[in-house]
Chains A and B, each alone.
Chain A
């Protein structure tokens, strides 16, 4: 199964993080929030008007914009 961007997942879909294409401070922040390759990630919901996504990694819920979600590649499970 090829990797796709996290932003393409529909609400309720679960995937495994394949790669994180971010740099610098954002990369650090994502790591600290629990984004790591191999981790399971679930998309809980999307906000209206192309707003942010709500995702869940382990016990942490995180909001992030589509711009950022496009930089995270995942494999659907």
Chain B
């Protein structure tokens, strides 16, 4: 079942840091991990949660195909103990497959709070399957369950019935069976106690206050990121500058000048400028993790569904847009929970306009360099509004070509708070991911930028005679009306690969890192040019990974090309409108 804590359990078992959140359908990829159980090496696969075996959404198909193609030695069925009353139906469906199973009733801590008592011994007897209560989040009951899993692995799955599908249709049978099992082993209080979730929802989902509270929370969140992230970033920057002056420059002084330039002004400056964003990214994802884990995303879907329906989307599309603020790639993949292809395509068309954390780096850097500390957070917030605006405009333009009548039915989980362990795991995961990207894209990117700005060797670095200068001059007629100069044009070309490179490549182009680069930009650009550049960066294609994901998720190259073309055109038109508008107003 979705949102029962499978990934939390998977992380506990394998020590990995799969993404967890209080939102049904957060696992869309199959993650695997190997652990030693007893004396055997066991491979564990984290499957997406499903409502029933013959569901039609893409994540349900993934599970069905997986079970069809790979008969597991043992299936761990994770159910939510508080919802055992209805989740039992999936278990009974699975039981008919003759799988070797162990059932883990997760969230035992929540069930206890609800006053639900489950007699696992009686239930085991009634079902003929080992059943354990546990809390994957806090670890209670985990060891007992693991021992039984080890034991159950000795008996492998006997095989699977081929006529599975017809069997699954026998709902009447399942209903009787459910009643029989539940009658003796589960007690649920007739009326749930008025708990914290109900009290919070009365405020958060208030008919008039709900939406203002939502926007208030978002605003405070981004303010906080800016407020805490900025000093941390400056600190890391200072550290890198000190390291360069104190250790690296003397160390490299014996090398030829060109190589020194490449290593110091190319790789070191570029990577250091980008690496300074690590604290900001960790902070951003910690806040996002709290929002995701608390279950507020489903509330946002509830509040926004009526408005999203007018754009041909639904509440879930809105949640994907919010997830896109972290990174567009998982948000694009998260749209798999939708069954209607048109709704999915429309959602995938708007997600790339979400101002992701990589673009946030560019904006934080430039706003800090060109705007006063008072104005900078407002400028940043205005870019978030543009991000929403571009998404809304796109949906309104294309909704008639992608009509859908997808039903909107969604579970509303109770509020939960992430443990420190979960937050630490998430933070580490994002840093790892960032460093992984850095080693792949960013180093290659900054080296390429350095070469472009220093070749041919006869030209003065970063001058009009270098390769970069020639490309910049060639594209100049296209970008001059937007107020974007030749150096920034080069950075935009590299931003097509990944937005993390934009600031790094500017560092290489100007041959300056950190605050010195900010100073150079402030000297060369006025705020209208800088804002126009940021608008273009915001709206044109997010990065190569997002493009690849668009292609693989839509399985349609035409759609991918269309998305690229539309976002480039929209970026150009909006930047042009802004720049020429501001200039004609006398700014």
**Which A residues contact B (CB, under 8 angstroms)?**
22, 24-26, 28-34, 36, 44-52, 54, 57-65, 67-68
Contacts and interface: CB of A to CB of B under 8 A. Distances in A.
A62 B409 contact: yes
A51 B306 contact: yes
A64 B303 contact: no
Contacts of B303: 47-48, 51
Interface of B: 51-52, 54-57, 82-83, 85-86, 89-90, 114, 116, 171, 175, 188, 192, 201, 205, 207-208, 210-211, 298, 301-303, 305-307, 309, 314-315, 339, 407-414
B83 A32 contact: no
Given A31-B171, A45-B205, A48-B207, A26 B82 contact: no
Contacts of A33: 51, 86, 409, 411
Contact of B307 (A31, A36, A49): A49
Nearest to B310: A49
Given A25-B56, A28-B54, A31-B171, A61 B85 contact: no
Contacts of A60: 83, 86, 411
B305 A48 contact: no
A34 B408 contact: no
A65 B411 contact: no
6 contacts: A25-B339, A32-B89, A48-B207, A48-B210, A54-B302, A63-B411
Given A34-B85, A63-B298, A65-B305, A26 B116 contact: no
A58 B86 contact: yes
B409 A26 contact: yes
Contacts of A61: 411-414
A50 B408 contact: no
A47 B408 CA distance: 13
A30 B85 contact: no
Contact of A54 (B306, B408, B412, B413): B412
Nearest to B406: A26
Contacts of B89: 31-32
Contacts of A30: 409
A16 to B, nearest CB: 14
Contacts of A28: 51-52, 54-56
State the 5 A-B residue pairs at the shortest beta-carbon distance, nearest first. Answer: A51-B306, A34-B86, A32-B51, A49-B306, A61-B412
State the main secondary structure of chain A at its contact with B.
Answer: mixed
A52 to B, nearest CB: 5
Contacts of B305: 47, 51-52, 63, 65
A52 B302 contact: yes
B52 A31 contact: yes
A50 B315 CA distance: 13
Contacts of A64: 407-410
**Residue from A45, A57, A62 with most neighbouring chain B CB atoms (10 Å):** A45
A65 to B, nearest CB: 5
B295 to A, nearest CB: 10
A50 B175 CA distance: 34
Contacts of B309: 51, 65
A77 B315 CA distance: 31
B201 to A, nearest CB: 8
A36 B83 CA distance: 15
A28 B211 CA distance: 32
Contact of B301 (A24, A44, A63, A67): A63
Contact of B83 (A29, A47, A58, A63): A58
B408 A59 contact: no
A49 B188 CA distance: 35
A21 to B, nearest CB: 13
Nearest to B86: A34
**Residue from B55, B407, B414 with most neighbouring chain A CB atoms (10 Å):** B407
A64 B307 CA distance: 15
Given A28-B56, A32-B90, A62-B409, 20 more contacts: A25-B57, A29-B55, A29-B409, A31-B89, A32-B51, A32-B86, A33-B86, A46-B207, A50-B306, A51-B302, A51-B305, A54-B412, A59-B83, A59-B116, A60-B83, A60-B86, A61-B412, A62-B412, A64-B410, A68-B409
A50 to B, nearest CB: 6
Contacts of A22: 407
Contacts of B307: 49
B188 A58 contact: yes
B319 to A, nearest CB: 12
B408 A52 contact: yes
Contacts of B56: 24-25, 28
A73 B560 CA distance: 43
Nearest to B202: A45
A52 B301 CA distance: 9
Nearest to B412: A61
A68 B407 CA distance: 7
A44 B200 CA distance: 13
A18 B544 CA distance: 52
B316 to A, nearest CB: 10
Given A45-B205, A48-B306, A59-B188, A32 B52 contact: yes
Nearest to B55: A28
Contacts of B211: 48
Contact of B51 (A24, A29, A54): A29
Contacts of B55: 25, 28-29, 32
Contact of B114 (A26, A44, A59, A62): A59
A50 B54 CA distance: 31
Nearest to A62: B411
Contacts of B201: 44-45
A33 B56 CA distance: 15
A10 to B, nearest CB: 13
A60 B307 CA distance: 25
A48 to B, nearest CB: 5
Nearest to A67: B407
Contacts of A47: 205, 207, 302-303, 305-306
